[in-house]
Structure formats: C-alpha cells, structure tokens
C-alpha cells in the first residue's frame, strides 16, 4: 500500500513538471508576439492610413501675406504646395494620398485661423535639387466663417484631442484626426462643396438674385 502511494505521488510530480515545461515554452512566445503587436500599434503615426482608400485629413499653414485663401482662389483654385523645409512636415506631405482633404490655415500673429478646405490632386513629388518636396492642391470651398485658433483651443471637444496643431505649433503640415476634422468643420458652419443643404440653398438664392 505504501509503494502504491509513493508511485501515485511520483506520477503526479512528473505530470506537473511536464505541464510547467509546456507552459514556459509557450507563454514567452505568446507574450513576445503580443508585445510586438502592441509596439507596432504604438509606432503608427496619428493619422496612420494603411488603406489608401480611407480618407485622410490634414492642415496646411500659410502666411496670408505670402499665400492667402484669396490667392488660392484667384489661381484657378489649384496650386503647388511647396517651400516646406521641416523634415517632419515633409514626411506628412509624403504620406498624403490623392483625394485627401486639408484645412487651409492662415498663420501669423494677425491670423491663426482655418478659412477653407483644399483637396490633394497630385501626390508628393520632388521639388528642386535641395531635397524639397511638394504636393498639388485644389480649392474645395471656403468656410462659412473662419475658425480661430483660440476658439479651437477653448472648445471642450478639442481640448483633449491631442491635436498636433496645439502640440506642435511651429509645424506647417499636421495630420488631423477624423473627429477633429468634423468638429472644426462644425465650428466653421461647414464649407462650400461639402454638400450641406444650407450652402446649396444660399447658392440657389444668389442665383435667383442675379436673374
């Protein structure tokens, strides 16, 4: 009877050791894979777009004294967006896809406001021998009313958004998360070309007035 008890304990001990060996050989592998995936997720940029068909949004800064919304419209609505020297801003230009929408932002002490929307009509290309790059953008429409930087910073929905415009104020090209885009457009009352009924009604009224 004593031998039987010892044999039973021996079998239990061997089984437990095998079970521990299996767990140790598998868990680190699984944990490593999990950590790798987590790191890959952390490395994604704020406006990451693995699917090129997915809409991306950006903000482009310009000094109104150098290139204003009026200049953009007077130029047939389409222009080359160049002169970007900062490497991070250039990286954002290179990430732009055909059809991406951009907030047209007047910078400078007397401006600092979103005034309209442009669309990327030509993806990033080399511009000159100094390593510069550019994209072509076309005007989509003007905001019903400009949205000032102060208004955006004071908005409850935008305060905790992590918007790069707030964190990196000197960067001339920044990504815009979809929820931030929607809120800024809402604050501006929409823009011409966004399909809003109010804009269409106003255009019809203006057309009737000209008749």
- Tell me, what CATH number does 96's domain have? 3.10.590.10
Same domain? For 82 and 183 the reply is yes
Q: What is the mean pLDDT of the chain?
A: 78
Contact in structure between 100 and 56 (CB atoms under 8 Å) = yes
Write out pLDDT tens, residues 177-205.
Answer: 999 999 999 999 999 877 665 545 554 55
Same domain? For 33 and 61 the reply is no
Task: Establish if 14 belongs to a structural domain.
Answer: yes
Distance CA 28, CA 22 (A): 11
Read off φ and ψ for residue 97, nearest 5 degrees: -120, 155
Same domain? For 12 and 71 the reply is no
How many structural domains comprise the chain? 2
In the 3-class helix/strand/coil scheme, how is 132-164 assigned residue by residue? Answer: CEEEEEEEEEEEEEEEEHHHHHHCHHHHCCCCH
Decide if pLDDT at 22 tops 70. Answer: no
Decide if pLDDT at 56 tops 90. Answer: yes
Please give the residue range of the domain that contains residue 31: 1-37
Which stretches does DSSP call E strand in the chain? 57-62, 78-81, 101-106, 113-126, 133-148, 173-175
Region label for 44, one of left (φ > 0), alpha (ψ between -120 and 50) or beta (otherwise): beta
pTM assigned to the model = 0.70
pLDDT: which is higher, 42 or 148: 148
Write out pLDDT tens, residues 80-128.
Answer: 999 999 999 999 999 999 999 999 999 988 889 999 999 999 999 999 8
Task: Establish if 211 belongs to a structural domain.
Answer: no
């Amino acid at each position: 009877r004593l031998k039987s008890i010892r044999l039973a304990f021996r079998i239990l001990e061997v089984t437990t050791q095998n079970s521990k060996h299996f767990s140790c050989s598998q868990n680190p592998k699984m944990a490593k894979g999990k950590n790798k995936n987590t790191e890959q997720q952390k490395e994604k940029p704020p406006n990451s777009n693995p699917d090129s068909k997915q809409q991306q949004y950006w903000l482009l800064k310009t000094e109104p004294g150098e290139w204003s919304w009026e200049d953009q419209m007077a130029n047939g609505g389409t222009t080359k967006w160049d002169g970007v020297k900062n490497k991070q801003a250039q990286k954002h230009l290179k990430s732009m896809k055909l059809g991406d929408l951009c907030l047209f932002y007047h910078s400078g002490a007397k401006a600092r406001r979103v005034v309209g929307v442009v669309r990327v009509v030509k993806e990033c290309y080399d511009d000159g021998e100094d390593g510069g790059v550019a994209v072509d953008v076309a005007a989509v429409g003007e905001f019903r009313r400009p949205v000032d930087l102060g208004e955006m910073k004071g908005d409850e929905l935008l305060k905790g958004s992590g918007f790069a415009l707030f964190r990196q104020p000197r960067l001339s090209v920044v990504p815009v998360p979809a929820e931030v885009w929607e809120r800024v457009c809402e604050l501006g009352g929409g823009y011409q070309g966004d399909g809003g009924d109010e804009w269409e009604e106003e255009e019809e009224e203006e057309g009737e007035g000209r008749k």
